[in-house]
A = this chain, B = another copy of it.
């Protein structure tokens, strides 16, 4: 028989309020941009005065950290839920649709998780661990298809490239997201060509101009 642990109503209440604050914070950054999060505005949204927030979070960075953690967990959970068919091409397409969709549906979250543009903010080790989880799931799946870390790097570049162009140059549209399938076909054909032992063609030297 399972012993019911004693409920701590105070702790439950506190958690509920924390969660409410975080929800409001997400709303705010979606509207004002990630850097536009201010404690005054945030407090007003939940019907508090700014100093009251300090009963729930030690600092503004602590709020960012909790948001980072939430976002990373959402990503890892979504990633884990992607069905696998065994057909590499199909699985890659579904996977990239998930990634690009996840990022473009909330650019502020994308910025927080993948771009790190908040000056002075670094996720705590625990929060960072959550973010590694999603990438590891992806790495394992690719490995199952016989693809190594080099292929992973190329794939993530394609994913962030489509995402970034979509967000920067056609927000709310689908000028780049609609090319996910084509991009995966291109990638798939490419990695299908090279076996385990491959030599790379000669490299062109970098042509750059200094200011």
Not counting A94-B204, A177-B206, a sample of 17 additional A-B residue pairs whose C-beta atoms are within 8 angstroms of each other reads: A33-B117, A33-B119, A35-B35, A74-B209, A93-B204, A97-B206, A117-B117, A153-B175, A157-B158, A157-B162, A157-B176, A157-B183, A160-B161, A161-B164, A181-B200, A186-B186, A189-B193
B contact residues around A208 at 8 Å (CB): 78, 97-98, 101-102, 105
The chain B residue sitting closest to A209, CB to CB, is B78
| A78 to B156 Cα, complex, angstroms | 28
Residue-by-residue, is A86-121 near B (CB-CB < 8 Å gives 1, otherwise 0)?
A: 000010011001100110011000000011110100
A128 within 8 A of B: no
> Count the A residues whose beta carbon is within 8 Å of the partner chain — how many?
61
Task: Pick the most buried of A116, A158, A175, A179: most chain B CB atoms within 10 A of its CB.
Answer: A158
Contact of A74 among B97, B164, B177, B211 (CB under 8 A): B211
CB-based contact B201/A185 at 8 Å: yes
Q: How far is the CB of A185 from chain B (nearest CB, A)?
A: 7
What is the CB-to-nearest-CB distance from A127 to chain B, in angstroms, rounded to a whole number? 17
Chain B nearest CB from A119 CB (Å) reads 6
**CB within 8 Å for A36 and B119 given contacts A94-B207, A189-B189, A207-B101:** yes
Instruction: Check B168–A115 contact: CB distance below 8 A.
Output: yes
**Would B201 and A101 count as touching, CB distance under 8 A?**
no
Q: What's the minimum C-beta distance from A138 to chain B, rounded to whole angstroms?
A: 14
Q: List the B side residues contacting A74 at CB < 8 Å.
A: 209, 211
Q: Mark A62-89, 1 if CB is under 8 A from B, else 0.
A: 0000000000001001100110000000
Q: Is the CB of A157 within 8 A of B179?
A: yes
The interface centre, meaning the residue of A102, A165, A203 with most chain B CB atoms within 10 A of its CB, is A165
